[in-house]
């Protein structure tokens, strides 16, 4: 795609978009105003002031977003204070821990809903209230395609988890505790008792999971005010941030500053660099690629490797380190990290605050060099995302080196193949499974089309008999994703996926797989002729009848592969905010 910007609506000197509905002195204007007045709005609410939509993904089924109903009230205060009219509307909420088969299946559906809700309603700007992993990316995708002035207020991370006198991290310690139970090193009673201590306040994961990664990258891209990424959900300063966002969005409307002015190539590249420095989630790859597709920036998988190749890991935070999001914020938060890598960022990039990124971080300071390391003493020299190529992944695969075991970043082993997630669950703990610590676990059928929805199952739990022997990591390969809170030597996002006929589909038990992280290669050790023969014989299995209708069928028929961001093919690009026809 070209770097062409999405279409803009009316120029600043013409009537506001909302006045085309609320400013008419005719039957249509009567209808628009009259029905809104049944909510107690006075006449002067329709005097031409900017109308600001609050797109809220609050839901009691999405615990991460449980505080957004309250934060919306603070945004409204700011909007009223600045002379705007705030109008809140709901959007589909995607509870990462609750939705089946996976919240990722519905990210694009939420993006469609956000896009059409913004375009179809008489608003001049929008504040996106999200938090859980897929909500913020989907909202940004939808808002970018409409291109009305927009800002983000994230839910914020939970307070540090506490259990038996120590800090525990959401997600990350779930995986550790679960493996300890299966290895016989932790009782089931202790495992269950840790639940309440892990999630002890409102907010998203307190580790550098996908939610905190995306809220941090939103800040790095300039689509939110400073501190959006790290302020704890229950901190009163997040309420103040929401208030200030309400004020600022009214100004953005008056200044006609839109997502296309902020979400430039420079902003997306800044996000990739920051993602490396903070040890961000691998899910950032598919989300940034999808956002880039909406704003017409030709971002590629290779850009992630190129831009993060020599960026060290500076934030000592789970799952790649020791601390948690609360500690990260108190240490100086994202501004402190960006100041330490300022030489690698485009500091002239504009932000919704009105300042450039460089101006925004100029006075940032670090208050704890253990949590936010100096460049001279990083957590790890290897960070970011390594993009792999080879005959097993012609269109790419990725690995997060900071979460992997160094000794497995170069590895050769025999494949132990699971045809789908049910096959894996049925056999992984079978004592007769032919597997050892040098084996490579291969999981098929978990890509965008195959599951469907590309679930977070790539960090496969290890076979019980190996856990009991003390094995804690193995090389694992799949076309799936993994939680941003997860860790291990896990190769993900293999493209094309197995269900689309990619080479992963024809890997067999006993095949030798060679992985060289430093050379960025992933090879199936068979001849080209044998690979071609297997692919020719491969036939896709029929989809389950449950996915022969509705949104799931639309998704399967049109979803793009991981290297293109897993958006629906017909959603790339933008339609703008123009709607010319009336409703009556």
DSSP 375-426: TTS-SBS--S-EEEEETTEEEEEEE-GGGS-GGGSEEEEEEEEESSHHHHHH
Q: Output the pLDDT for position 4.
A: 53
Distance CA 230, CA 253 (A): 26
Distance CA 124, CA 253 (A): 7
Q: Output the pLDDT for position 540.
A: 67
User: Residue 386 pairs with which residues in a beta bridge?
Assistant: 399
Q: Output the pLDDT for position 7.
A: 65
Q: Output the pLDDT for position 486.
A: 86
Same domain, 347 and 427: no
User: Residue 151 pairs with which residues in a beta bridge?
Assistant: 127
Structure tokens at 23: 């400013």
Same domain, 216 and 286: yes
Same domain, 431 and 511: yes
- Give the angle 127-263-293 at the CA atoms, nearest 5°: 105
Q: Residue 285 contacts by C-beta under 8 Å, 6 or more apart in sequence?
A: 301, 304, 385, 398, 493, 562
Q: What is the pLDDT of residues 22-72, one digit of tens each?
A: 999 999 999 999 999 999 999 999 999 999 999 999 999 999 999 999 999
The answer to the question of residue 559 being in a domain is no
Distance CA 139, CA 223 (A): 12
Tokens 């890509």: give the residue. Answer: 447
Same domain, 449 and 513: yes
Describe the chain by its helix, strand, coil percentages, rounded to 5.
Answer: 40, 15, 45
What would you measure as the largest C-alpha separation in the chain, in angstroms? 79
Same domain, 151 and 67: yes
The answer to the question of residue 179 being in a domain is no
Same domain, 276 and 393: no
Domain count, the chain: 2
> By CB neighbour count within 10 A (0-12 exposed, 13-18 middle, 19+ buried), where does 364 fall?
middle
Structure tokens at 356: 């450039």
Same domain, 393 and 357: no
Q: Output the pLDDT for position 171.
A: 83
Q: Residue 185 contacts by C-beta under 8 Å, 6 or more apart in sequence?
A: none
- If you ran DSSP here, which 8-state letter would residue 351 be given? -
The answer to the question of residue 430 being in a domain is yes
Q: How do strand 386-390 and strand 51-56 relate by DSSP bridges? A: unpaired
The answer to the question of residue 1 being in a domain is no
273 φ/ψ angles, rounded to the nearest 5 degrees: -65, -45
Same domain, 333 and 445: no
The upper half-sphere exposure of residue 440, i.e. CA atoms within 13 Å in the direction of its Cβ, equals 28
Question: Would you say the C-alpha torsion 328, 333, 336, 342 has a positive or negative sign?
Answer: positive
- Residues 314 and 337 sit within 8 Å (Cβ to Cβ): yes
Sequence length of the chain is 584
- Residues 559 and 448 sit within 8 Å (Cβ to Cβ): yes
Q: Output the pLDDT for position 182.
A: 87
Structure tokens at 268: 């997306």
Find the CATH number of the domain harbouring 314.
Answer: 3.40.50.2300
CA distances (Å), 455 to each of 53, 493, 501, in order? 32, 10, 18
Q: Output the pLDDT for position 544.
A: 54
Q: Output the pLDDT for position 12.
A: 47
Going through 148-220 in order, the beta strands assigned E by DSSP cover 150-154, 161-163, 166-168
Using alpha carbons, select from 121, 143, 149, 144 the residue that is nearest to residue 256: 149
pLDDT by 10s per residue, the chain, length 584: 444 566 665 544 557 999 999 999 999 999 999 999 999 999 999 999 999 999 999 999 999 999 999 999 999 999 999 999 999 999 999 999 899 999 999 999 999 999 999 999 999 999 999 999 999 999 999 999 999 999 999 999 999 999 998 999 888 888 788 888 988 889 999 999 898 889 899 999 999 999 999 999 999 999 999 999 999 999 999 999 999 999 999 999 999 999 999 999 999 999 999 999 999 999 999 999 999 999 999 999 999 999 998 999 999 999 999 999 999 999 999 999 999 999 999 999 999 999 999 999 999 999 999 999 999 999 998 888 999 999 999 999 999 999 999 999 999 999 999 999 999 999 999 999 999 999 999 999 999 999 999 999 999 999 999 999 999 999 999 999 999 888 899 999 999 999 999 999 999 999 999 999 999 999 999 999 999 999 999 976 655 556 888 999 999 999 999 999 999 999 999 999 999 888 88
Same domain, 357 and 459: no
Same domain, 282 and 427: no
The answer to the question of residue 367 being in a domain is no
Distance CA 507, CA 494 (A): 13
The answer to the question of residue 186 being in a domain is no
The answer to the question of residue 405 being in a domain is yes
The answer to the question of residue 9 being in a domain is no
Distance CA 478, CA 491 (A): 6
Distance CA 99, CA 63 (A): 12
Same domain, 148 and 279: yes
Find the CATH number of the domain harbouring 468.
Answer: 3.50.30.80
Q: How far apart are the first and last CA of the chain?
A: 38
Tokens 């691998």: give the residue. Answer: 282
**Domain assignment of residue 538, given as a range:** 388-546
Q: Output the pLDDT for position 541.
A: 61
491 φ/ψ angles, rounded to the nearest 5 degrees: -95, 125
Question: Which element (helix H / strand E) includes 88?
Answer: strand 85-90
- Residues 396 and 301 sit within 8 Å (Cβ to Cβ): yes
Q: Output the pLDDT for position 3.
A: 47
Q: What is the mean pLDDT of the chain?
A: 94
Q: Output the pLDDT for position 545.
A: 54
Q: Residue 28 contacts by C-beta under 8 Å, 6 or more apart in sequence?
A: 21, 582, 583, 584
Structure tokens at 298: 């030709």
Same domain, 321 and 446: no
104 φ/ψ angles, rounded to the nearest 5 degrees: -65, -25
- Residues 567 and 561 sit within 8 Å (Cβ to Cβ): no
């Amino acid at each position: 795609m070209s770097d062409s910007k999405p279409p803009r609506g009316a120029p600043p000197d013409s009537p506001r978009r909302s006045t085309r509905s609320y400013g008419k002195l005719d039957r249509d204007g009567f209808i628009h105003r009259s029905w809104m007045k049944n909510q107690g709005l006075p006449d002067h609410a329709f005097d031409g002031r900017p109308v600001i939509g609050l797109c809220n993904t609050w839901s009691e089924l999405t615990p991460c977003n449980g505080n957004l109903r309250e934060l919306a009230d603070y945004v409204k205060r700011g909007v009223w204070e600045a002379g705007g009219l705030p109008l809140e509307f709901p959007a589909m909420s995607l509870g990462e821990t609750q939705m089946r088969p996976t919240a990722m299946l519905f990210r694009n559906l939420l993006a469609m809903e956000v896009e059409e809700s913004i375009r179809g309603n008489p608003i001049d700007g929008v504040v996106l209230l999200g938090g859980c992993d897929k909500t913020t990316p989907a909202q940004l995708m939808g808002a970018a395609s409409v291109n009305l002035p927009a800002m983000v207020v994230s839910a914020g991370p939970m307070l540090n988890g506490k259990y038996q006198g120590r800090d525990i991290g959401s997600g990350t310690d779930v995986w550790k505790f679960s493996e300890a139970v299966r290895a016989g090193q932790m009782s089931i009673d202790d495992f269950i008792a840790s639940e309440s201590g892990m999630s002890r306040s409102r907010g998203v994961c307190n580790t550098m999971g996908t939610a905190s990664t995306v809220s941090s990258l939103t800040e790095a891209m300039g689509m939110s005010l400073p501190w959006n990424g790290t302020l704890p959900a229950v901190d009163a300063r997040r309420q103040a941030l929401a208030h200030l966002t309400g004020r600022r969005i009214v100004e953005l409307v008056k200044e006609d500053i839109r997502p296309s002015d902020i979400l430039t190539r420079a902003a997306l590249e800044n996000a990739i660099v920051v993602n490396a420095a903070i040890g961000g989630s691998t899910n950032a790859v598919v989300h940034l690629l999808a956002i880039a597709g909406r704003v017409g920036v030709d971002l590629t998988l290779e850009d992630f490797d190129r831009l993060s190749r020599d960026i060290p890991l500076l934030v000592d935070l789970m799952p790649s380190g020791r601390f948690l999001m609360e500690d990260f914020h108190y240490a100086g938060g994202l501004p402190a990290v960006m100041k330490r890598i300022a030489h690698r960022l485009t500091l002239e990039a504009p932000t919704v605050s009105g300042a450039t990124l460089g101006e925004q971080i100029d006075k940032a300071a670090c208050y704890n060099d253990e949590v936010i390391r100096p460049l001279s003493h990083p957590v790890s020299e290897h960070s970011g995302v390594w993009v792999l190529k080879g005959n097993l992944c012609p269109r790419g695969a990725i690995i997060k080196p900071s979460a992997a075991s160094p000794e497995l970043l170069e590895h050769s082993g025999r494949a132990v193949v699971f045809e789908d997630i049910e096959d894996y669950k049925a056999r992984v703990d079978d004592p007769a499974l032919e597997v050892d610590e040098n084996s490579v676990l291969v999981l098929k059928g978990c890509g965008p089309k195959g599951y469907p929805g590309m679930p977070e199952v790539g960090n496969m739990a290890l076979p019980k008999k190996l856990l009991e022997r003390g094995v804690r990591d193995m090389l694992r390969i799949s076309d799936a994703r993994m939680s941003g809170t997860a860790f291990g030597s896990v190769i993900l996002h293999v493209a094309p996926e197995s269900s689309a006929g990619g080479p992963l589909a024809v890997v067999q038990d006993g095949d030798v797989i060679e992985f060289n992280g430093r050379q960025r290669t992933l090879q199936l050790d068979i001849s080209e002729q044998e690979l071609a023969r297997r692919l020719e014989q491969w036939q896709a299995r029929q989809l389950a009848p449950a996915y022969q209708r509705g949104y799931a069928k639309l998704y399967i028929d049109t979803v793009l592969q991981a290297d293109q961001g897993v958006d629906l093919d017909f959603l790339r690009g933008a339609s703008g905010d123009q709607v010319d026809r009336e409703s009556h």
